[in-house]
Amino acid sequence: MLASGHLRAQDATHKAVDAKGLERNRLTQATFKPESVTITPLQLIQLRKLMQDFGIPCQ
């Protein structure tokens, strides 16, 4: 899930670690958090306008 971008990981020193940099012996010392993006109402309106400009129907 880390490699697909659903989770982000930090090592014991709170530095970001990617999937390739996460060592197996330090796996228990890492902290994992879900990766999420919050879209504001203004961004949602802009996204709908962009979709409409390209002819993609949206609600």
SS3 20: coil
Q: What is the pTM of this model?
A: 0.53
Is 37 a member of any domain?
Answer: yes
Task: For the chain, 59 residues long, give each residue's pLDDT as a single digit of tens.
Answer: 888 888 899 988 999 998 888 888 888 899 999 888 888 999 999 999 999 999 998 87
Is 47 a member of any domain?
Answer: yes
Contact between residue 18 and residue 11 where contact means Cβ atoms under 8 Å apart: no
Q: What is the pLDDT of residue 53?
A: 94
Is 24 a member of any domain?
Answer: yes
Is 1 a member of any domain?
Answer: no
Q: What are phi and psi of 22, to 5 degrees?
A: -85, 110
Q: Which domain holds residue 34?
A: 7-53
Q: What is the pLDDT of residue 27?
A: 86
